Structure 1
Amino acid sequence: MSKGPHYIGIDVGTGSARAALLDISGKIIADSTHETRTWRDTRDHRIFEQSTTDIWASICQCVRDVLSESGVPPEDVKGVGVDATCSLAVTDEHGGPVCVTGGKECGGQGERNIILWADHRAEEEALLINSTGSKVLDYVGGTMSLEMEIPKILWLKKHMPASEFAKCMFFDLPDFLTYRLTGSLARSNCSLVCKCSFVPVGVEGSEGWNAQFLSQIGLDDVVQQGYEQIGGTSGKNGMVLTAGQAVGTGLSAQAAKELGLMAGTTVGSAVIDAYAGWIGTVAGRFTQGSGGELSPQPKLRDSRGRLAAIAGTSTCHIVQSEQGVFVPGVWGPYKNAVFPGWWMNEGGQSSTGQLIDFMIKTHPAYEELKKLAEERKTNIFDVLASTLDDLKKEAGTTSLTYLTKDLHFYPDLHGNRSPLADPRMRGSIVGLALDSGLGDLALKFNVTLEAIALQTRHIIEEMNVHGHKIDSIYMSGSQAKNAALMQLLADVCDVPVILPHSPSAAVVVGAAMLGRFAAEVGARTGDLKTHEEAERVSEQTKEDLWQIMIDMTQPGKQVAPSSSPADKKLLDAKYHIFRQAIDIQRSWRKLMEEAAK
């Protein structure tokens, strides 16, 4: 059994909940994952719904699993940190689930009480919001995404009985989880600033919530209730905490019983899952040179050039700066999202891992691919790699880029999050042949990876043009295991890609770091009772959080750009075509809209 203090990280992703038990060095002692359920609507592809009841049950099972597997007694767990997807959780005044499904059930009791981040039902509401020209839009890249919480709350206002809407509490999912853990209604800067149109007090005269904006779009009743439904006002009827600050008095007796932990165990203020990935990677060192020596220990200021790419179902691209950087089509700048006084920008691709799966599974040769993987006792990606090697030999080339030079894919099948901020963008492919075989599937798989890398370059270029100086990509998430994609990212973006020690665990490790920070800082400062006290302590202890990130991030490795001059020329040409595809699609859309009038 591992000795010393331990910390638990809880991560709720799109399709699963996970808990990991870590020691003070960041080593994972025990780890458990359980699937969570997502409901889709066969009549409406925009709908994605989940359940807080289902997610909480999975979390409890995961935590009990890691305690059982590790043999660590509950009293040795000193802190719990949490992250989750930026999905809208809707409850009644007592935390019970309120149904978000369209139709007569909306607003009643029902398990389906989460509108998942990927849900795109609120398109009209987002259009209305973006027509206001409100100052709050400047802090989401100029355009509020329909994936954010305010459009979804407005959709519920329109579809739910007024009497039921008035009784609802609305949480970004990370904040719901700290509420469920502690009973405290304190919200996180990360969730409020990044997803709920909250601009920190003092930023260009902001008072936090913008009453004029909310009233203008039809949420005046939320304003009249003192914003209590969405977190209240700091210093009056609410508390806003920066990442990892201790929430309330720790685990409630009921939550502790269900998790198998001790009541009062410190719980850190949560972050959105992508930001936990940033926390779990950007302070990391990596091996370099032939001798395998470690890179220097980074300072907080070094985070400025390090883009964290958190790549699973979708991909988020997060970079920090000391001053607010305004990038059209890129979310932010978000002040205090993790570190007090620092700003974050967040780019993103709505569908990447999901896109790869879709392109493979919808191809006519998918069944053949699965059969070959079974026969060879391997996985489908090894078969695809082998098939591409065979195709290169047949073509007399060593270059995958050359192999797909006449096949071009634009990847926004689920709309564009960044840097176009256009949910109406759709995918396109040019260079189709009358071929439905395994070779064709392998080529389309490769060109999908190319498209993801090309779009990442587009996002990075827009960030750099407007003031960032990105010099490296710090990866995490399931896609970091895709060696071909990692090399493409390095080659296409012309920067090194840093892979963490355990790519799939970086997010949950980031959450555990917040648990440690809450426990250690909370032991020194005691309970935070006022917003002013929380702000003062946050500023005083930010270097403590950075040091914990350094101490608990185990060394990773570097993937350097390696494309040949010929491949670089091909990739640059593909990028030019990629940018042209955007202009062509938009011009075609305009032509058809005019024709349809």
Structure 2
Amino acid sequence: MSGSARLHSVFLEMSSSYPVVLANPSRCVFLGVDVGTGSARAGLFDKSGKLLGSSSSPIQIWKDGAHVEQSSTDIWHAICAAVKAACSSAEVAPEEVKGLGFAATCSLVAVDADGSPVSVSWSGDSRRNVIVWMDHRAVEQAERINSCNSPVLQYCGGALSPEMQPPKASSQLIQLLYCLTLDYMWMDLSDWLSYRATADDTRSLCTTVCKWTYLGHAHMQQINDKDSRNMEACGWDDDFWEEIGLGDLVEGHHAKIGRSVAFPGHPLGSGLTPTAAQARRIPVGTSLIDAHAGGVGVIESAPPSDSAAEENDKEDICHRIVLVCGTSTCHMAVSRSKLFIPGVWGPFWSAMVPEYWLTEGGQSATGALLDHIIENHAASTHLANQAASRKVSLFELLNKILEKMTSEQNHPFVAALTEDIHVLPDFHGNRSPIADPKAKGVIYGLTLDTSEQQLALLYLATVQGIAYGTRHIVEHCNAHGHKINTLLACGGLAKNPLFIQEHADIVGCPIILPRESESVLLGAAILGAVAARKFPSLSEAMKALNAAGQVIHPSKDPKVKKYHDAKYNIFRGLYEQQLSYRSMMAQALA
């Protein structure tokens, strides 16, 4: 299919069955698309960053042990459905959309030279061409790559995670070589979405730096001109790829992994064309990883009273860390100078905020862990039915049960209910700051009780364990040069008041929630606004479209701090015990 025909086809897919809306040519609307682990979402925002309408559509996922896979074709169909529904709810006409941006999980997509899916599944299922971010098939490959001690590793916390792309590509390469022609491409999911929409395979500085070991600062030094359109990919370390056995990825000026790399929001190709006959095209910006889009959508959301003078803005942003809380939680902090922090990803040059170094902490299972804990409890089905009959979420119902228990048992505060239950939340390994993919989860204090109240306690202890993990990350970052004193939170879990209050109390910092709850969609839409040149830079767009909402402060009760300090020490001790037990068993099996 030719480039123009393909673009026409893409727009027809997205815009068919649009509601009949009388277009206002002067109206300025930006469309953001986000593909998460379980759904594709679309949101439309006005030029002040206000959400006009959004919608989501589920996507299929296959899980088989450590293997987790999806279909790019299924994902694209879900995006089209979400965009149509969002435009309908917002009553937005296609002509009013001035820019489009994509964000997605850091999943790995395999396609051939024509953009057709290439299976990554041992099952041979041709639909399954996406290795999902949480897939842990490449643990051994990551260990082998890390043993090479390449200089690029210092820019990802000292070691690659099995969730990053070089280990995953290494685990699949032999299958591809035997089953297919060598004419294929690896793409991060968000880059593939932009490619699918524009036929431009330029990769994002965000995805390549954060997941592929691309050296963004080398890219910047080579270009040496912020306004240059020369997007030659000059930050690849060819010796690294040769050393880990993936030298073929260097061929053709790195055509399989990215021969051109651009800053997020850079306009791609000719954009998304509405019809083959019309001249106006919708600009599409270079993409972001979903967590980084959340950072772009929220990090400038400081309350007006807390806004620093313009000359201090560059430092003020460095005291914040963004928690993007969904299936997993990502912790995003920026600094003016590069900070090398063991066990924490980065420093990544301009991977989120232009001209800042990004530090990225994370927990591989947070929302997914809470779902797992709840769904596998004997009282889960009964509670789910209660929640449905009352038309509230299961989290709301559990929070009310905890409030009632606190009152009935005369506890001084809700958190005190878990004095006998402690959770180490590393059920899917520890991403940071320990960077141990073999870490396991621990629940201390189980009994034979299967009541709703016991499930509520287990849920609370898990929330607290997740928050202690965030405290560990913040303390670790501050010990290595950061000066974080404020948290900003977005994502699905940020809508849970108990989750947010426990984080504020445990970390000891105020938490700012954004005015618009869909921060990842806003971050994606900001990319479209920048690509459409409605703002001079990504930084200016963030300042214009970010806005603060509620601020949650930590408890002033000294008993709350003393309580959480004690539980935090237990939390840290659970992992130390695990290491001791692991060593004992290794010796026994030696």
1:276 aligns with 2:276: no
Distance (Å, rounded) in 2 between the aligned partners of 1:379 and 1:60: 27
Task: Check conservation: 1:191, 1:272, Cα contact below 8 A.
Answer: yes
Distance (Å, rounded) in 2 between the aligned partners of 1:368 and 1:66: 33
1:182 aligns with 2:198: yes
Give the structure 2 partner of residue 52 of structure 1.
72
Shift of 1:173: 0.8
Shift of 1:371: 3.4
Distance (Å, rounded) in 2 between the aligned partners of 1:197 and 1:415: 21
Distance (Å, rounded) in 1 between the aligned partners of 2:359 and 2:141: 24
Give the structure 1 partner of residue 5 of structure 2.
none
Task: Check conservation: 2:106, 2:211, Cα contact below 8 A.
Answer: yes
Give the structure 2 partner of residue 200 of structure 1.
216
Give the structure 2 partner of residue 290 of structure 1.
none
Give the structure 2 partner of residue 565 of structure 1.
558
Q: Assess, with a 3 A threshold, how the Cα gap between structure 1 residues 460 and 201 changes in structure 2: closer, same or farther.
A: closer
Task: Check conservation: 1:285, 1:296, Cα contact below 8 A.
Answer: no
Bigger CA drift: 446-455 or 336-345?
Answer: 336-345
Q: Which amino acid aligns with 2:190?
A: P
1:472 aligns with 2:486: yes
Q: Which amino acid aligns with 2:293?
A: A
Bigger CA drift: 295-304 or 189-198?
Answer: 295-304
1:515 to 516, 528, 534: 528
2:101 to 71, 81, 85: 81
Distance (Å, rounded) in 1 between the aligned partners of 2:474 and 2:144: 29
Q: CA-to-partner distance for each residue in 1:454-507, whole Å, 9 max, x for gaps?
A: 00000001110000111111100000111011111111111100011232x111
Task: Check conservation: 2:300, 2:547, Cα contact below 8 A.
Answer: no
Q: CA-to-partner distance for each residue in 1:113-147, whole Å, 9 max, x for gaps?
A: 10000101111111111111111110110110000
Q: Assess, with a 3 A threshold, how the Cα gap between structure 1 residues 282 and 372 changes in structure 2: closer, same or farther.
A: same
Could you tell me the TM-score, scaled by structure 2's length? Answer: 0.89
1:286 aligns with 2:307: no
Q: CA-to-partner distance for each residue in 1:142-183, whole Å, 9 max, x for gaps?
A: 110000111111011133334626221000111111111111
Task: Give the 5 Å matches for 1:193-592.
Answer: 193-200=209-216, 202=218, 207-232=234-259, 239-251=260-272, 253=273, 256=274, 264-286=281-303, 299-503=313-517, 505-520=518-533, 541=536, 544-592=537-585
Shift of 1:555: 3.0
Distance (Å, rounded) in 1 between the aligned partners of 2:76 and 2:220: 39
**Per the alignment, in what secondary structure is the counterpart of residue 133 of structure 1?**
coil
Segments of structure 2 that go 5 or more residues without pairing to the other structure are 1-21, 223-233
Q: Which amino acid aligns with 2:105?
A: T
Shift of 1:401: 2.5
Distance (Å, rounded) in 1 between the aligned partners of 2:220 and 2:393: 53
Q: Assess, with a 3 A threshold, how the Cα gap between structure 1 residues 430 and 73 changes in structure 2: closer, same or farther.
A: closer
**Per the alignment, in what secondary structure is the counterpart of residue 161 of structure 1?**
helix
**Per the alignment, in what secondary structure is the counterpart of residue 448 of structure 1?**
helix
**Per the alignment, in what secondary structure is the counterpart of residue 396 of structure 2?**
helix
Q: Assess, with a 3 A threshold, how the Cα gap between structure 1 residues 81 and 433 changes in structure 2: closer, same or farther.
A: same
Segments of structure 1 that go 5 or more residues without pairing to the other structure are 233-238, 288-292, 523-540
Q: Assess, with a 3 A threshold, how the Cα gap between structure 1 residues 378 and 229 changes in structure 2: closer, same or farther.
A: closer
Task: Check conservation: 1:92, 1:167, Cα contact below 8 A.
Answer: yes
Question: Percent identity, aligned pairs only?
Answer: 40
Shift of 1:516: 0.6
Q: CA RMSD in A?
A: 2.3
Q: Assess, with a 3 A threshold, how the Cα gap between structure 1 residues 262 and 512 changes in structure 2: closer, same or farther.
A: farther
Query: How many residues matched?
Result: 554
Distance (Å, rounded) in 2 between the aligned partners of 1:203 and 1:184: 19
Task: Give the 5 Å matches for 1:52-131.
Answer: 52-103=72-123, 105=124, 110-131=126-147
Q: Which amino acid aligns with 1:25?
A: S
Q: CA-to-partner distance for each residue in 1:409-443, whole Å, 9 max, x for gaps?
A: 11111111111111100011111222111111111
**Per the alignment, in what secondary structure is the counterpart of residue 436 of structure 1?**
coil
Q: Which amino acid aligns with 1:78?
A: K
Task: Check conservation: 2:298, 2:547, Cα contact below 8 A.
Answer: no
Q: Assess, with a 3 A threshold, how the Cα gap between structure 1 residues 311 and 165 changes in structure 2: closer, same or farther.
A: farther
Shift of 1:68: 3.6
Q: Assess, with a 3 A threshold, how the Cα gap between structure 1 residues 567 and 398 changes in structure 2: closer, same or farther.
A: same
Q: Assess, with a 3 A threshold, how the Cα gap between structure 1 residues 446 and 70 changes in structure 2: closer, same or farther.
A: closer
